[in-house]
Structure 1
Amino acid sequence: MPILHAIILGLVQGFSEFLPISSSGHLALVPWLFGWNDFADVTNGASIEKAFDTALHLGTLVAVLFYLRAELIGYVREGIRIVVSPKRADKQMGKRAWLFVASAIPAGIAGAIGQQWITDKLGTPVLIAVSLVVFGLLLLWADRQQGTRDVDTFTRKDALLIGLAQVLALNPGTSRSGITITAARKFGFSRDAAARVSFLMSVPVIGGAVLFSLVKLVRDGIPDGLIAPMIAGIIAAGVSGWVAMWGMIRILRTRNFNMFVMYRVAVGFGVLSIAASSWR
């Protein structure tokens, strides 16, 4: 894999993981659009793709851990305290910590059972384009909700329902951040809080997926010639992921999600037009 391809895909992963525009959809569309065949090796292509995907998600995991480091330190501390020393714990914060962990369970189970089948069957450019448009319009609808709730009001009901909504992100083109923000807005969270809820929910989901994939990668070994592209991808995804989170929070202090919806719809119809033409 060329280093340039790795950097571009890392940037795509970082920005689209945390902005509500679908990382899995963009990671499928970019190589399709430019005719890249980095994972076309018949005998080793699948292992190369999985190893590189692990690297990109490791980059975004580092980004969210760094961006939310102050909050996460508090959640980890109080989450442990509420178990080992309840009298010393901030009980509300400790409970929220475990609720964020629990919110990852539905997506974790669904991903373990059906991720490969979903990717194979629903990961075509046309279906990704349709998902970009449909779930973009769903975000537009939910964003009309007047919401004032803060992250501190996150409850068991939120963990269950937003966690279930997160399962839909297994479909390429849905967007994990997009569907969790959509659900959070519908349940009354402010725009800023909905984004932060989405970021916090991403930690156990991405962390669990990366841990599982790293164990498999260590067991099977890194494919030949992939170490340098993986490092480039990790750095690009980490930097762009941090920039995406920082930028979105600043934008949402004064604006809504319309720009992301318009982008999704434009890309969706653009891909449908290209797919219908003879260019690709």
Structure 2
Amino acid sequence: MEKLYVLIKYLLLGAFQGFTEPIPISSSGHLQFAQHIFGITMENFTFELLVNSASLIAVLIIYRQDLIRLISNGWEYLTTKNEHAKTDFRFIIYLIVGTIPAGVLGILLDDWIKEHLSNIRTVAMSLIITGIALYLIRNLRGRKNDGDLTLKDALIVGFAQAVALIPGISRSGATIVAAMARGMKQETALRYSFLLYIPVSLGGMVLSISDLVNDPHLHDLFVPYVLAFFSSLVASYFSLKWFMNVMAKGNLIIFAVYCLIVGPLVLLFL
């Protein structure tokens, strides 16, 4: 019975994290809520590494055509200086620039954030902030396409991603809010946000490999880990597809209202 409980726990938590990862409500914050409410404690960082890796794979699958085009055209511009490929080459540069703030600040502040900000109250307050930000930009309809982005846009969205290091601040929410505030079309903001997720997530995976290798629970929890990985992968895929549809219809208000309801409730009852 205990083994069955462990399997169900990892299956549900993997699906829960996977579903909340792409949408602007903070997956890490909601995972913290779930663990607090149900009295569940995750033994180590391997679970987080695996489910985040699964979400990354889902993003790679959905944006595979964009990635293939960017890599192909980026290489073409580097080797031939073909002006037709210049837009995609610049987009790659802006992705690199946008990755730097979160990468640098994550390395410098990770321990401090875990020590001082990893608590339910911070997550709840951050959710309220996320909800307000989403509400403020809910009706924006920008005009900037991929080729219209600037270095300033990349830096601002990059620093917004760095703000999401604070527990409860949604990474996708922060970057999409910043991108739309900079005048990007919703489709462009969404694409830039999730392509920006790829290098950050890959970096986190590389830094966490030692945790996986040295995990004393790896042998005993191998099957639960696998279940969590695949449940997160499937949930992330369908959640992102749903979120893309919500963005296309201009219904960000859904997430703003959700965050503005859940944040205060958590402050009151948890």
Compute the TM-score of the two structures, normalised by the length of structure 2: 0.91
Match of 2:214 among 201, 215, 220: 220
The CA deviation at 1:151 is 3.1
CA distance in 1 between counterparts of 2:122 and 2:23 reads 20
Q: CA deviation at 1:15?
A: 1.9
Distance 2:83 2:142 in 1: 33
The worse-fitting range, judged by mean Cα deviation, of 98-107 and 224-233 is: 224-233
Structure 1 stretches of 4+ with a deviation exceeding 4 A read none
Corresponding pairs, count: 265
In the alignment, structure 1 residue 148 sits paired with structure 2 residue 143? yes
* Residue pair 1:81, 1:88 contacting (<8 A) in 2 also: no
CA distance in 2, matches of 1:128, 1:119: 12
Aligned letter for 1:181? I
Question: 1:121: how far off?
Answer: 1.3
Equivalent residue runs for 1:198-209 within 5 Å: 198-209=193-204
**C-alpha offsets along residues 67-112 of structure 1, whole Å, 9 cap, x if unaligned?**
1000011112223333344348711111212221221111011111
Residue 15 (structure 2) pairs with residue 11 (structure 1): yes
- How big is the alpha-carbon RMSD for the aligned residues of Structure 1 and Structure 2? 1.9
Aligned with 2:164: secondary structure? helix
Q: Aligned to 1:127, which of 108, 122, 128?
A: 122
Displacement of 1:18 in angstroms is 1.1
Q: Percent identity?
A: 30
Distance (Å, rounded) in 1 between the aligned partners of 2:121 and 2:16? 19
Look up the SS of the partner of 1:174 in the other structure: coil
In the alignment, is residue 113 of structure 1 matched against residue 108 of structure 2? yes
Distance 1:222 1:65 in 2: 30
Give yes or no for contact 2:164–2:170 (8 Å, CA) kept in 1.
yes
Residue 64 of structure 1 deviates from its aligned partner by: 0.3
Aligned position for 1:74: 69
> 2-side partners of 1:164 and 1:191: how far apart?
19
Measure the CA separation in 2 of the matches of 1:255 and 1:87. Answer: 36
Which amino acid counterpart does residue 29 of structure 1 have in structure 2? F
Distance in 2 separating the partners of 1:96 and 1:232: 36
Matched, 1:93 2:93: no
Q: Compared with structure 1, are the counterparts of its residues 146 and 218 closer, same or farther at alpha carbon in structure 2 (3 Å cutoff)?
A: closer
Determine the structure 1 residue equivalent to 2:188.
193
- The residue type equivalent to 2:115 in the other structure is D
**Corresponding residue for 1:61?**
56
Aligned partner of 1:45 in structure 2 is: none
Amino acid across the alignment from 2:172: S
Q: Cα offset for 1:153?
A: 2.4
Q: Do structure 1's residue 33 and structure 2's residue 27 form an aligned pair?
A: no
Q: Which residue of 2 aligns with 1:240?
A: 235
- For each residue in 1:159-217, what CA deviation from the matched residue of structure 2 results, as whole angstroms up to 9, or x when unmatched? 11100111110001111000001101111122233222211111111122112212x24
* Structure 2: tracts of 5 or more residues without a match: none
Judge conservation of contact 1:165–1:180 (CA < 8 Å) in 2.
yes
Q: Is 1:257–2:261 an aligned residue pair?
A: no
CA contact (8 A) 1:51 1:222 kept: no
Q: Find the aligned partners of 1:99 and 1:37 in 2 and give their Cα distance.
A: 39
Q: Which amino acid aligns with 1:156?
A: L
Residue 265 of structure 2 corresponds to residue 270 of structure 1: yes
Deviates more, 1:173-182 or 1:113-122: 113-122
Structure 2: distance between partners of 1:30 and 1:177 = 20
